Amino acid sequence: MIDLTDVQHVETQVLNIGYGDYGDPAAFPIILLHGFPYDVRSFDGVVPPLVEAGYRVLVPYLRGYGPTSFLDPRAPRMAEQAAIGQDVVDFAEALGIVQMGLAGFDWGVRAACITSILHPSMVKGFVAMGGYSVQNTVDDEQPAPAFREARMWYQWYFNTEQGRVGLQNNRRDIVRHLWETWAPTWNYTDEAFDKSAPSFDNPDFVDIVIHSYRHRHKNAPGEKRFLEVEQELANYPQITVPTIVLRAGDSGLGVPSEDPSADQLNFSNLVDRRIISGAGLTFRHGLSVWAPISRRPCSAGDPLPVRSAMREDPFRVTKYPFWGSSCQASSSFRRTKSAAASISAICSTAWNGVGERPRKSNSPLLKF
């Protein structure tokens, strides 16, 4: 039995990062990155099958969440996208990791995108939940259509003083509202919420969230050390590492397009693209998206062969149903935005059945 509440700590140049570390320490590492407003509990249903498949799984708390803290109490609490991306690199280097698999959503997928762009040799494979998420924080942005601007209410709210005070005083209420509107089909329990809620009590949480949303709209300065990085990211560099893109079929922010052309443009090594029926924006709730989990984990030096079918049509749209009703694990698993099999597949040497219809698995967490 894996103790998913066990927390380790490692120091980087800037942070003391709290993280979960599961599986064989000598095995190939996969880093799972959560977003806002969520925490490492998002991956409680993903960790066990990946460990069972033979991987080392690392789940860090992002800056401003849970036990992660700044080493310098006087350091400005900034959270521009380049900083979050650098945190991933620093985290891996602090643990002596040379190459890894990455998966993330929301802030986490943005950090993984940036890591894959700036340090592609470190990333063996990438599961991008939500697709390409790099932002242009340099040039003036054009207003979006009204219905899209309305969906971003919380970003405009956080760009006001009332929003800052509101997040400080009503953070649990705001988080619950976002969970419910972003994933309208996710019937989470109070128990599930209570497992994540302490992460939002981090003393830096409000400052980090406010800076993130103000910086992206050019209402707060960034760190000088990231000026050149932000300039580079403003050009939306293509991601070249092998990637599977997952898109939420039931997002509260809109239904994803079945047209894969945008993902083809942003990911030059796009292995598969899947629209996940029943998943909310951040995939947080009970997906047991299934592709066969390789029983032979990869090592850092292994090649990544692609099946012939993928070579013939690597950019097709694959629709997967929501299999949560058949998963009999704990509530923490049912609420997980699990892409365990996709993560395993993108890091495996086998690539057996990636993109095919789910087959039955002997894993107790993946019953069909």
Tens-level pLDDT at each residue, the chain (368 residues): 899 999 999 999 999 999 999 999 999 999 999 999 999 999 999 999 999 999 999 999 999 999 999 999 999 999 999 999 999 999 999 999 999 999 999 999 999 999 999 999 999 999 999 999 999 999 998 899 999 999 999 999 999 999 999 999 999 999 999 999 988 888 889 999 999 999 999 999 999 999 999 999 999 999 999 999 999 999 999 999 999 999 987 777 777 888 899 999 999 999 999 988 777 765 554 333 322 223 344 455 554 433 333 333 433 444 433 322 222 222 233 333 335 555 655 555 322 323 332 223 332 222 21
Q: Which of 63, 3, 59, 51 is nearest to 24 (CA)?
A: 51
CATH assignment of 8-346, given 3.40.50.1820, 3.40.50.1370, 1.10.10.10, 3.40.50.2000? 3.40.50.1820
Helical segments of the chain, H only: 47-52, 81-94, 107-118, 146-151, 153-158, 161-182, 190-196, 205-215, 227-233, 261-266, 308-312, 331-334, 340-346
User: What is the structure's pLDDT at 283?
Assistant: 56
How far the first Cα of the chain sits from its last, in Å, is 22
Please report which helix (H) or strand (E) contains residue 127, including its range. strand 123-129
User: DSSP states of 227-279 as a string?
Assistant: HHHHHHHTT-PPB-S-EEEEEETT-TT-PPPS--HHHHHHBTTEEEEEEETT-
Distance in angstroms (rounded) separating the CA atoms of residues 323 and 326: 6
User: What is the structure's pLDDT at 280?
Assistant: 72
Amino acid at 247: R
Distance in angstroms (rounded) separating the CA atoms of residues 52 and 24: 10
pTM as predicted:
0.83
Give long-range contacts, CB 8 A cutoff, 24+ apart: 21-25.
21/56, 21/57, 21/58, 22/47, 22/51, 22/56, 22/57, 22/58, 22/59, 23/50, 23/51, 23/54, 23/55, 23/56, 23/57, 24/54, 24/56, 25/56
Angle, alpha carbons 359-367-291 (nearest 5°): 35
User: What is the structure's pLDDT at 176?
Assistant: 96
User: What is the structure's pLDDT at 347?
Assistant: 52
User: What is the structure's pLDDT at 345?
Assistant: 54
**With the C-alpha atoms ordered 200, 43, 260, 324, is the resulting torsion angle positive or negative?**
negative
Burial 302-311 (b: 16+ CB within 10 A, else e): eebeebeebe
